[in-house]
Amino acid sequence: MHTVVVGTSGTTPEDVIAVARANAKVELSAEALAALARAREIVDALAAKPEPVYGVSTGFGALASRHISPELRAQLQRNIVRSHAAGMGPRVEREVVRALMFLRLKTVASGHTGVRPSVAQTMADVLNAGITPVVHEYGSLGCSGDLAPLSHCALTLMGEGDAEGPDGVVKPAGELLAAAGIEPVELREKEGLALLNGTDGMLGMLCMALADLKKLYTSADITAALSLEALLGTDKVLAPELHAIRPHPGQGASAANMLAVLKDSGLTGHFQEEEAPRVQDAYSVRCAPQVNGAGRDTIAYALTVAERELASAVDNPVVLADGRVESNGNFHGAPVAYVLDFLAIAAADLGSIAERRTDRLLDKNRSHGLPPFLADDAGVDSGLMIAQYTQAALVSEMKRLAVPASADSIPSSAMQEDHVSMGWSAARKLRTAVDNLTRIIAVEMYAATRGIELRKGLTPAPASQAAITAARAAGVQGPGPDRFLAPDLAAADAFVREGKLVAAVETVTGRLA
């Protein structure tokens, strides 16, 4: 377990994953602690002045016109956390909450929020103690930041509300802090507001989705190649010179992956030898690099947006280097929300084309000699008929999840916050989409490997054989009479989800893109 050092200049997607999923320890750099102290001096100086300053000595949002006297300001900061911790619905995943807390700490450490060093240190201590606030599914509109989710995290820092301990048991946050030797924070001017005003939840989910999708797109290139092979298709359409004349980077990478998987295959290119020869393969086979590649390019753009946001200090108001404390709109989640929705659209299309190839493998009129539904004794056996139904149901849901959340906006805060991003909602549905896409690719892999094994007398590519051998060793069974299918599909899901499909193929091909 390594340590992630948080400085003033942001963080990386890899650090987010390390903290969220691998429980990496967090440490504040000396530079960050110095920047925190400098910014706090500015806030303290402004708090001592009679003139109202938003977030320091005023109310918030639609209540910003009220000047708050010094004796009420600590109560004001406590109250904003308590009142904004208004989430509802099921708990969100531990990794999401850890990413949320870490990214808020990243902005706090920038020195642009005015939070005291001691508060930032407590945030790091809570992460390092494995204490995870209970955060609920609903409560963020993706503007003024992920307010309710971040408020539940801030509530834990105060020793209030509920949190999950390192043992996975939910207890009152105060008890967990005491057990870890962590003193609850007493919030001062601006600090409550600074802990709530960020795109941290949607950004954390974006970083994790990008990591998952990158692996899934490589898996999808492999399963597309396996399906092409099982359908006796041609690999000539994957030639580099064809993709060079339409130079989308992702398309070229996907075609190269497929070509590497199919190297030395004895199954490709047989369509001209059939009784009813094909002039060319169906779109779902022939255009796989174009569809997979477009998704890859969408991932690349989304990563650019994520890296910009990871380098940002998102708060309102912010403390500037020249000593000014200025209101702004940088908390609006539109940049992140858009790419979350773009990724859901790309993922839905990838799932859709994978399902079309699976259906083709199962249809005796289009599979070019494979048995109906890849069954052992069609009629007595149903084969993979209902596996494709399950895949189709997943694809249908993917299409619903592709409807953009960011196209919606519901005004809030007495019309002060009259246009919001819905970025949190975009992130939540993308997580479901990524989960479903894994299952869809697993079903295609299951069908394609069975189809290849049913091509008696023909030798698959060495990389394909490596995938088949590894899948069978992992409990993904091959052709045969009907059996309880759900365990096979679960094994196929795990095989793809855990990266074993890619790992098996790369033992032959070397590293794939």
Has residue 79 got a pLDDT over 70?
A: yes
* Position 50 confidence tier, pLDDT thresholds 50, 70, 90: confident
Q: What is the pLDDT of residue 275?
A: 61
Task: Give 50 or 478, the one with higher predicted confidence.
Answer: 478
pLDDT over 70, % of the chain: 98
- Average pLDDT estimate for 88-117: 98
- Average pLDDT estimate for 52-62: 76
* Cα pseudo-dihedral 502, 503, 507, 509, rounded to 10: 20
Has residue 43 got a pLDDT over 90?
A: yes
In angstroms, the CA 315 to CA 198 distance is 6
* Position 269 confidence tier, pLDDT thresholds 50, 70, 90: confident
Q: Would you please indicate which residues are annotated as catalytic (active-site) residues?
A: 54
In angstroms, the CA 235 to CA 461 distance is 12
8 Å CB contact between 494 and 294:
no
Q: What is the pLDDT of residue 49?
A: 87
Determine which of 66-70, 170-174, 190-194 has the lowest per-residue pLDDT on average: 66-70
How many C-beta neighbours within 10 Å does residue 172 have? 14
Q: What is the pLDDT of residue 277?
A: 66
Q: Give strand pairing partners of 460.
A: none
Three-state DSSP at 170 gives strand
Has residue 272 got a pLDDT over 70?
A: no
- HEC profile for 126-166? HHHCCCEECCEEECCCCCCCCHHHHHHHHHHHCCCCEEECC
Closest CA to 97 of 134, 126, 124: 134
Distance of CA 182 to the CA centre of its chain: 31
Q: What is the pLDDT of residue 340?
A: 98
Tell me the per-residue pLDDT of 324-339, one tens digit each, with 9 for 90 and over: 999 899 999 999 999 9
How many C-beta neighbours within 10 Å does residue 192 have? 29
Has residue 467 got a pLDDT over 70?
A: yes
Q: What is the pLDDT of residue 273?
A: 61
Q: What is the pLDDT of residue 504?
A: 98
- Average pLDDT estimate for 176-180: 98
Q: What is the pLDDT of residue 70?
A: 86
Q: What is the pLDDT of residue 134?
A: 98
Determine which of 6-20, 35-49, 387-401, 497-511 has the lowest per-residue pLDDT on average: 35-49
Q: What is the pLDDT of residue 274?
A: 59
How much is the pTM?
0.96
β-pair type (136-138, 318-319): unpaired
Tell me the per-residue pLDDT of 114-173, one tens digit each, with 9 for 90 and over: 999 999 999 999 999 999 999 999 999 999 889 999 999 999 999 999 999 999 999 999
C-alpha separations of 328 from 40, 147, 312, 316, 325 in Å: 19, 16, 13, 6, 10
Total residues found in the chain within this entry: 513
Instruction: Please provide the average confidence, as pLDDT, over all residues in the chain.
Output: 95
Q: What is the pLDDT of residue 205?
A: 98
Determine which of 26-30, 77-81, 248-252 has the lowest per-residue pLDDT on average: 77-81
Q: What is the pLDDT of residue 1?
A: 65
Distance of CA 55 to the CA centre of its chain: 32
8 Å CB contact between 138 and 414:
no
Q: What is the pLDDT of residue 416?
A: 84
* Position 63 confidence tier, pLDDT thresholds 50, 70, 90: confident
Has residue 60 got a pLDDT over 80?
A: no
- Average pLDDT estimate for 444-448: 98
